Amino acid sequence: MARTLLCEIVTPEKIVYTNEVEMVIAPTLDGEVGILPLHAPLVTVLRPGELRVRYNDNKDVEWFAVSGGYLQVHQDKVIVLADAAEHSSRIDVDRARHAKELAEQRMTELKERPAEAREDADACQADLKWCEIQLQVAERRS
């Protein structure tokens, strides 16, 4: 049996995932990072994207959408502290498409406003990115 590490994906609202896995692949600001057992201690910032975990002799993969946050590796344990995270099987595609359309409409409206609306535009851009990531990850399960 292959050596494993404990992976926990946590958001402010809930524990999204806890399991023994063989590898975690996470999106960071500098690109993807792969975490295997006995990895050196690490703390890094996650960018919005797709997080994958591999187990069962790397035959099985589970996909998660993460909106950003932090990843910590310490003593064969990976903790993902995400702003938002969702397992691919739990993503409501219709809801994500509708939210994306609303965010796109809002972005169009904000472009017509003066520069003071910059904060709203940043939040709206983050919402739009989150919807796009959920849709990309949901495609993995089909």
| DSSP-derived 3-state class of residue 53 | strand
Give me the CATH code for the 5-88 domain, please.
2.60.15.10
Look up residue 6 and give its amino acid. L
- What pTM does this model have? 0.87
pLDDT digit string, tens, across residues 10-56 = 999 999 999 999 999 999 999 999 999 999 999 999 999 999 999 98
pLDDT higher than threshold 70 for residue 119: no
Average pLDDT, integer, range 61-82? 95
Contacts of 29 (CB under 8 A, 6+ apart): 44, 45, 47
pLDDT higher than threshold 60 for residue 142: no
Q: Determine the Cα–Cα distance for residues 90 and 56; give it in Å rounded to an integer.
A: 22
Least Cα distance to 87 among 34, 33, 28, 14 occurs for 14
Please give the span between the terminal C-alpha atoms of the chain, in angstroms, as a whole number: 30
Q: What ranges do the domains of the chain cover?
A: 5-88, 91-140
Looking at residue 116, its pLDDT comes to 62
Please identify which residue in the block is written with the tokens 């960071």. Answer: 28
Phi, psi (rounded to 5 degrees) for 15:
-90, 115
Contacts of 126 (CB under 8 A, 6+ apart): 48, 67
Looking at residue 107, its pLDDT comes to 84
Looking at residue 57, its pLDDT comes to 85
Looking at residue 122, its pLDDT comes to 80
| DSSP-derived 3-state class of residue 36 | coil
